[in-house]
Amino acid sequence: MNNRVITKPYAGKRGIRQKVTSGFATVEQKGKLIGLEVLVDATVIFNNVEQKLKAGDIAFFPEDLLHGAAWSNKIMSCDEIKEPFIMTDGGSIVMVK
């Protein structure tokens, strides 16, 4: 599926949150990874290596990507998948648990 992974939608708060450290304000989402549950078995390619993901695995994405990527807001549904989902970019996955 063109390196796409079907996951549960991101349920976090939208919008930019700031984090103040030593008097400097930074964007809080830049340093956080968010796990989304994989709903359908998939195969993705990381650095020319195939990685198989199983339904129930947790795929982690940078939170700032989930706020800005066009695919993160496109919540879909279909008869074969019982709950709402998004089609994530497999190349954006940082790690899998």
pTM equals 0.80
pLDDT at 1: 67
Asked if 33 contacts 95 with a C-beta cutoff of 8 angstroms, the reply is yes
Q: CB neighbours of 96 closer than 8 A, spacing ≥ 6?
A: 51, 53, 57, 58, 59, 60
Q: What is the Cα–Cα distance from 8 to 76, expressed in whole angstroms? A: 10
pLDDT at 20: 64
Q: What is the DSSP letter of 79?
A: T
- pLDDT tens digits for 5-49? 999 999 876 555 556 666 665 555 467 899 999 999 999 987 788
Domains in the chain: boundaries: 4-96
- pLDDT tens digits for 55-88? 999 999 998 888 888 999 899 999 999 999 999 9
Asked if 65 contacts 72 with a C-beta cutoff of 8 angstroms, the reply is yes
